[in-house]
Structure 1
Amino acid sequence: MTDPTVVTASWSDAIGYEAYIGRWSRQVARQFVADLDVPAGRRWLDVGCGTGALTRTVLDLAEPAGVQAVDRSPTFLRHAAAHVPDPRVTFRTADAAALPVDDGSVDVVVSGLVLHFLADPGAAVTAWRRAAVPGGTVAAYVWDYAEGMQMMRAFWLAAARVDPAVATLDEAARFPICAPGPLRAVFTGAGLTDVVTGAIEVPTVFADLDDLWTPFLGGTGHAPVYVATLTDDVRAAIKEELRRSLPVQDDGSIALTARAWTVRGQVP
C-alpha cells in the first residue's frame, strides 16, 4: 500500500486538470460571479487563475474594465492565455501572497479553489485586501471536501476500504479551512468587514463509471497523484469499490453533485 508521506499533488498538466476539476469549477464560477453582482466597468484580479475558468466567467458575465490573472504555474497560465484570448485580460506568474499589483489598484479580488492550498491563507487574504480599493470586494470559493464534493468523497471512501493508509491524504482531513467557520475567520482576521459565507451546489453528471474514473488516472491533483502510486491490482480494487457504492442509473450514468463554500468581504 501507499506511504501517504510521499504523495504530493502535481499541478503541471492543464488538460488533466480540466478533465478532473476544471469542468466542474466552471459551473461554480458562473454562480459565484453572478452572486457577487459587481457593476460593469470594474477592475478585477483573479488570484490563482489556473486554467482560466474564473477569469473567463468574469469576462463573460461581469463586463469588467479589465482582469489581471495570476498563477504560480506557467503551464496553467499558457493554457489560460490560449483559451481566454481577450484584450481585457493580462496573465502573469505570481504567488498568491506576493501580488505584482499596486495597493488599491483593483475593485474586486477573486480566487477559485486556491485558498486551502496556500501555506499561509491569512497572509494571502491580507495581500488581496491590500490590492483592492477601500470599499472593494474580496471573495473566494473552495470545495466542500468533507461532504458536498461527492465525486471526491466517494473516491476517498472507496480508497479507504482498500487502503486504510489514505486517511491522511483525504482532502477533508488535510484542508479544515474548507468550511464556513474557518473561511470567515481567515477573512475577518485579514481585516475585511461584512464577511459572509455561502454555498453553491452544481450537478456533476458522468456518462458512466469510466467518465468519472478516468480523470483520476491523469496525475493532476491529490487523488490522481495517489492513484499513480498504486499497483494495477489496487487501482482496480478501488474502481470496483466505486462501482459498488455509486448510484449508477439504468443507462449507466452517475448523477452526483458538487458543493463549494463561498466567502466574501469588503475592504474598509
Structure 2
Amino acid sequence: MADLQHPRRVERLATGQPASDGAGVKLTRLLTQDLQQRLDPFLMLDNFASDDPDDYGAGFPDHPHRGFETVTYMIEGRMRHRDSAGNEGLLGNGGVQWMTAGRGLVHSEMPQQEHGRMEGFQLWLNLPARDKLCEPWYRDIASDEIPRFTTPEGVAVRVIAGESHGVAGAVQREATQPIYLDLHFRAGGALFHQALPAGHNAFLCVYRGEVAVPDEAGQATPVARGRMAILGREGDGVLLQGTAGSEPARALLIAGKPLREPIAQYGPFVMNTREQLLQAVQDFQGGRLR
C-alpha cells in the first residue's frame, strides 16, 4: 500500500454528459451541477476533445464570470485569452490558464487553429464568500513552467496545483487547497500513491487508457477512459494503477478542501445567495464588470 494505511475507495463512477458551450463548442461535462455539493469546492469540469474544427472553431466569444476561478488545461491545441481587465495570453500544448474572476470580468477564449486536434479541460473552482468580490487575477502557465517528476515506478506526474511527493505545484490556494495532478502511466501499468488531507473531496478523470483504483481490501475498481471516479471521503490517500493494456493511461487527479457554504449559480455567476446573483446580472447588464 506504499505510504498509505487506508487508501480511499471509489464511491461511484460518473459518465460525462454531452453538452455545448460558447458559440457551439462541443464538449463533455464530467462534473455536473448536481455534484457541486458532493465535490465542493469544485463546480464544473468540462472536457473538449475533437479533430473536427466544426466542433471547436467558433470558440468562446466574450462572456462574463463572477465569484469563482477557472482553470483551463490544454492537452493539445492553441487558445487565445483576452479579458476586460487587459489580460491577454496564448494557451498552448500542455499549458494552463488560471483565472480568478472575483468581482467580475468579461473574457473570451478563441481557438488559434483552423485544423488539427483541440483537447483540454476547464475546471471551475469556487471562491469562499469573503473572496467572491476580490480583484480579478490571471496567469498563463507555459508547459515547461509546470513542476513535474517521475516516480521510481515510472509514473510521470505534472503538478499543476497543490503538492505531490514533496513537489510543489505551479499554483497554491489557501482557502480551497486544491491538488491538481496530471498522471501519465507507462504502458503495462504502474502503481502511484497520493496522500490526501482528511476531509478533502477528490475525484479521478481518466482521459487515456484505463486506471484501476485499489481499496484497502485490495479490491480494484477499473475506471475507463471518459469516466470520472468520485472517491470516498474516508482514507488517507488514493492508490492508482495503470492497467496492463498496450495503451498508456493518463488521468487527472483533483482534490480540494470543501468550503461548506451555500452555492447559488446562474450561468457564469456563482455566489452564495439569490440576491447576490441578481446584483451580478445587474452589474453585467449595466457594464460594471470591467
The structure in which a higher percent of residues are strand is: 2
The two structures share one fold, judged by TM-score above 0.5: no
The structure in which a higher percent of residues are helix is: 1
Q: TM class by shorter-chain length?
A: under 0.3
The TM-score, its normalising length taken from structure 2, stands at 0.27
The TM-score, its normalising length taken from structure 1, stands at 0.28
